Amino acid sequence: MNKIILRVALLLLVSASSAFAQTGTDLVEVEPIKCWWRTSTTAVRTGESFDLRLTCAVVETEAAKVVADLSKLDPTVVQLPPFEVLGGTHAGDLMTVGKRFFQYDYRLRLIAEDAFGADVAVPPLEVTYSIESKVAGGESVKGREASYVLPPASVKLISVVPDDTSDIREAPAEAFVTIEARDSRAALFQTAAGVLFALAGVVVVVILIGLLRSKTKSTSATLAHLGPRAILRKVASELDQVQRAGRGGWTPELVGRALSAARISGSYASGRTIGQRPVGITKDPLVDGAMLISRGMGRVPMYVSGSISAESATDPTLADALKIMTIARYGRDGQKVDLDDALNTAIRVTKQQQSAHSYLSELTGRFVGSLVEMRKKVWA
């Protein structure tokens, strides 16, 4: 009987011990942040580079997380005297259940005159952090800041230079053969560049000669006509005068002048021909739809007219403007509606054509045309 009672008491004692141990395990305190160093070697010579890796683990759960200030650990700003930081990287963070890991790799070297044969410690660094906890309602509460001192680490400086070295030298100079090969290659490239530059000069001369020849091929009929730049300059001036005069009210004469000028600039925009006729000795009267352009220096003035209509215009806005002006000029009721907008459209088209027929644009067009012709002749 006594033996049975003793056995039951022992079983109860073991059960109580297990329950107490289980309760104790649930209440173990976890460090909010923990870091450790790792070096690529335990001993270096002076000036020899080596790798130093810092790994840290912080608590991060749904209820709380550690927010650490890692700005001081960035390879571009960290200072570890007497070690010289040559560079480094910061890998992406890793997540596990309840933990977040971050890691920094540094490339260091040690140059010290009084540490031969001794262990040189990495200077202590501190990481400031705070704990953010979630309360009822899902809001986060930030706790007070705390600091964590990184664990110590050291590297032994074993020698100034290797034992088989007779002196201290900088990086070895290149061999004479390498220098000679580099000079030869540079001379070859310089010669090739000179040949290519000469060929480019020949091409430019040929193109310029072609441009001059194309410019000199002008007949007497061509010389008697006005160029696009002179005509468009007069058209722009005419439209400006009509715009100023039209502020006091539109008249049939103003509408006719605006329509004549708009048809000329619209003909250039649509690629249609421009009619030109010199004024006769008897000074023919100005025909409706034409514009008189004086040439100066005793030269005969020209009547210039456009061949475009509202139906043949390629620009829809210009077509509407020509239609409005035509109705206002030749319509039975002579409605003068939206004439200001139509005039602004004509001014816009004129400015576009002035830019398209500028001297630089024409020279560029001839240059490109010469290149195309020369390419056809070369590949023919």
- pLDDT tens, position by position, 233-250: 999 999 999 899 888 888
Query: What is residue 20's predicted lDDT score, i.e. its pLDDT?
Result: 40
pLDDT over 60 (residue 122): yes
Domain annotation covers residue 141: yes
- Interval 345-369 mean pLDDT: 84
Nearest of 329, 274, 272 to residue 305 by alpha carbon: 274
Q: Are residues 255 and 194 part of one domain?
A: no
* Whether residue 44 sits in one domain with residue 143: yes
User: Distance of alpha carbon 131 from its chain centroid, rounded?
Assistant: 41
Q: What is the pLDDT of residue 162?
A: 57
The DSSP code for 119 is: E
Name the residue among 143, 144, 124, 126 with its Cα closest to residue 135: 143
- Is the domain of 200 the same as that of 236? no
Lowest mean pLDDT among 122-136, 329-343, 359-373: 359-373
Q: CA 141 to CA 133: how far, in whole Å?
A: 5
> 299: which DSSP letter?
P
296 and 328, same domain (yes or no) = yes
Mean pLDDT, residues 8-16: 42
Question: Sorting pLDDT into bands at 50, 70 and 90, what band is 173?
Answer: low
**Stretch 205-215: mean pLDDT:** 69
Residue 273 lies in a domain: yes
Tell me which residue of 282, 234, 286, 290 sits closest to 260, measured CA to CA: 290
Sheet holding 290-293, edge to edge: 274-278, 302-306, 290-293
Output the six-digit token pair for 360: 């630089």
Read off the CATH number of the domain in which 143 is found: 2.60.40
Site of tokens 């759960």: 61
Q: What is the pLDDT of residue 100?
A: 92
Q: Label residue 12 by pLDDT band (50, 70, 90).
A: very low
**Residue-range definition of the domain harbouring residue 198:** 180-207
Asked whether residue 187 falls in the same domain as residue 65, the answer is no
Res. 46: pLDDT tops 90: no
Q: Which residues of 109-124 are buried (b: 16+ CB within 10 A; e: fewer)?
A: ebeeeeeeeeebebee
Residue 87: CB partners within 8 Å, gap ≥ 6? Answer: 75, 106, 107
Q: Are 360 and 227 within one domain? A: yes
Residue 187, pLDDT score? 93
Tally of domains in the chain: 3
Classify residue 24: in a domain, yes or no. Answer: no
In a domain, 212, yes or no: no
- The answer on 238 and 308 residing in a single domain is yes
pLDDT confidence tier of residue 281, bands split at 50, 70 and 90: low
Instruction: Tell me which of 273 and 375 has the higher pLDDT.
Output: 273
List the one residue out of 294, 295, 341, 335 whose CA is nearest residue 318: 341
192 & 236 share domain? no
- The mean pLDDT of 109-115, rounded to a whole number, is 83
Above 80 in pLDDT, residue 222?
A: no
Lowest mean pLDDT among 121-135, 170-184, 322-336: 170-184
Above pLDDT 70, what percent of the chain? 78
Q: What is the pLDDT of residue 10?
A: 43
Q: What is the mean pLDDT of residues 4-21?
A: 43
User: pLDDT tens across 27-41, in order?
Assistant: 457 789 999 999 999
> 44 near 157, Cβ under 8 Å?
yes
Q: Please classify residue 249 by burial: count the beta carbons closer than 10 Å to its beta carbon, then call 0-12 exposed, 13-18 middle and 19+ buried.
A: exposed
Contacting residues for 189 by C-beta, under 8 A, at least 6 apart: none
Would you give the DSSP letter of residue 72?
Answer: G
Nearest of 290, 242, 263 to residue 353 by alpha carbon: 263
Q: What is the predicted pLDDT for the residue at 207?
A: 74
Name the pLDDT band for 276 (thresholds 50, 70, 90): confident
Residue 4 has pLDDT above 90, yes or no: no
Beta bridge partners of 134: 140
What is the three-class DSSP state of 366? helix
Asked whether residue 186 falls in the same domain as residue 243, the answer is no
226 in the same domain as 357: yes
| Among candidate residues 126, 125, 127, 116, the one with its CA nearest the CA of residue 155 | 116
Report yes or no on 301 lying in a domain: yes
Average pLDDT over residues 227-231: 87
Residue 193 lies in a domain: yes
Residue in the structure block whose two tokens are 């890691």:
103
Lowest mean pLDDT among 10-19, 280-289, 311-320: 10-19
C-alpha R_g of the chain: 46
Beta bridge partner(s), residue 110: 83
Residues 195 and 129 in one domain: no
pLDDT for 225 beyond 80: no
Average the pLDDT over 335-354 and give the result. Answer: 87
Please list the alpha-helical segments (H only) found in the chain.
2-26, 176-216, 220-224, 228-246, 252-270, 316-330, 339-356, 359-379
Calculate the average pLDDT of the chain.
Answer: 81
Query: How high is the pLDDT of residue 180?
Result: 83
> Which residues does 226 contact at the CB level (< 8 Å), separation at least 6?
276, 293, 295, 302, 304
The answer to the question of residue 235 being in a domain is: yes
Q: Does 270 share its domain with 139?
A: no
CA 131 to CA 144: how far, in whole Å?
A: 7
Angle formed at CA 301 by CA 327 and CA 366, multiple of 5 degrees: 85
With cut-offs at 50, 70 and 90, classify the pLDDT of residue 205.
confident
> Looking at per-residue confidence, does 83 or 203 come out higher?
83
Residue 147 has pLDDT above 90, yes or no: yes
In a domain, 68, yes or no: yes
Residue 216 has pLDDT above 50, yes or no: no
